[in-house]
Amino acid sequence: MKFKGNDEKLLPARIIAVALVLCLSLSVAANAALGDTVLKEGSSGQEVKSLQKKLSQLGYSVGAIDGKFGSATEQALKRFQKNRGIKTDGIFGDETAKELNRVSGESKNAGGKAVGYKSSDLNLLARAVYSEARGEPYIGQVAVAAVIMNRMQSSLFPKSIPDIIYQPGAFSAVADGQINLPADEQATKACKEAINGYDPTHGALYYFNPDKTSNKFIWSRPQIMKLGDHIFTR
């Protein structure tokens, strides 16, 4: 193609402008956060794949993680919505996105400050959660911390974090010495959420791994829910 006169002068500027538009489009796509777009059956792309990964990590089977929002992903999302007490419509909108980010520890407000508690109490609680629940999904770690906080409100247990954690026979991590392992950032964040009032168990006082215990007492407790490998009970 031949250019004459002013067209030749304008060509470099036009090329630069097109390049800038392309770069901006790619940057926006790369920085798009899960939740920026409403997703539902028939949607596809990287955001759907991210949604599928998060649901799968939380224990909601989506089938193949392929970036295609099919019936399996919709049913998994509905189970998540039902368990979290939000509208069960199988559509990934703003409310569902906020809750999914929260339970996976990616909420902007996750953690925060441990209001009203000494740093030594937070450190001990985080070590307990890490030693008892490392490898569990984030919400499962919040739940373990919430059990300890719930015990403080019950007449059946001591009234401080150290007394609850070190109560004889209360936690296997104390018995086997794992309580002394340093906590990681995720366990600490989970504990801050529990201290600040987030209780995904809705009042549980106990938890156990059904594959690792045959204790008749713990099996006799009214079960509330299962999060990760733990069953939470009253």
In tens, the pLDDT along 50-106 reads 999 999 888 889 999 999 999 999 999 999 999 888 999 999 999 999 999 888 888
Q: Residue 116's pLDDT band (boundaries 50, 70, 90)?
A: confident
Judge contact between 157 and 164, C-beta under 8 A.
yes
Which listed CATH number (3.40.50.300, 1.10.101.10, 1.20.210.10, 3.30.390.30) goes with 46-103? 1.10.101.10
Domains 46-103 and 119-233 share a fold: no
For residue 47, how many other CB atoms are within 10 A of its CB? 20
DSSP conformation class of 32: P
Residue 24 clears pLDDT 80, i.e. is over it: no
Beta strands 206-208 and 223-227: pairing type? unpaired
Instruction: Report pLDDT digits (tens) over 121-142.
Output: 999 999 999 999 999 999 999 9
Burial of 73 (0-12, 13-18, 19+ CB in 10 A): buried
Domain residue spans in the chain?
Answer: 46-103, 119-233
Mean pLDDT estimate for the chain: 87
Question: Among all chains, which residue has been given the structure tokens 């990760």?
Answer: 228
CA distance 230 to 207: 6
pLDDT in tens, 25-40: 444 344 456 888 999 9
45 burial type by CB count under 10 A (0-12 exposed, 13-18 middle, 19+ buried): middle
What CATH number does the domain located at 119-233 have? 1.10.10.2520
Does the pLDDT value for residue 216 go beyond 70?
Answer: yes
For 40, how many CA atoms within 13 A lie in the half-sphere containing its CB?
Answer: 7
Cross-strand partners of 151: none
Cβ–Cβ < 8 Å for 155, 107:
no
Classify 151 as helix, strand or coil.
helix
Distance CA 208, CA 215 (A): 9
pLDDT interval class at 21 (50, 70, 90): very low
pLDDT of residue 18: 47
Contact 47, 54 (CB under 8 A): no
- Nearest partner of 148 among 127, 125, 168, 130, judged by Cα: 125
pLDDT at 28: 39
Sheet holding 223-227, edge to edge: 206-208, 230-233, 223-227
- For residue 126, give the nearest of 191, 171, 170, 194 by alpha carbon: 191
- As given in the structure block, the two tokens for residue 197 are 């009032």
